[in-house]
Homo-oligomer: A and B are copies of this chain.
Amino acid sequence: MRIPSKHIENAVDQIASLPGIGRRTALRLVLQLLNRTESEIQQFSEAFISMKEYVKKCTTCGNVSDFEVCAICKDSNRDRSIVCVVEDIRDVLAIESTQSFRGIYHVLNGIISPMDGVGPSDLNITNLITRVQTEDISEVIFALSATMEGDTTNFYLYKKLKDFDVTFSTLSRGVAIGSELQYADEITLSRSILNRQPFEL
The answer to whether A47 and B14 have CB atoms under 8 Å apart is yes
Within A146-189, which residues are at the interface with B (CB < 8 Å)? none
The answer to whether B34 and A4 have CB atoms under 8 Å apart is no
The answer to whether A31 and B96 have CB atoms under 8 Å apart is no
Interface flags, A1-31, vs B, CB<8A=1, else 0: 1111111101101100111110001011111
Chain B nearest CB from A5 CB (Å) reads 5
- Residues of B near A41 (CB, < 8 A) are 48-49, 51-52
Top-3 shortest CB links A-B: A45-B45, A14-B47, A7-B51
The answer to whether B44 and A4 have CB atoms under 8 Å apart is no
- Residues of B near A89 (CB, < 8 A) are 4, 31
Supplied contacts A10-B50, A11-B47, 15 more A-B pairs, CB within 8 Å? A2-B97, A4-B71, A4-B89, A5-B65, A7-B50, A7-B54, A7-B66, A8-B64, A18-B29, A28-B90, A30-B48, A33-B51, A34-B51, A41-B48, A41-B51
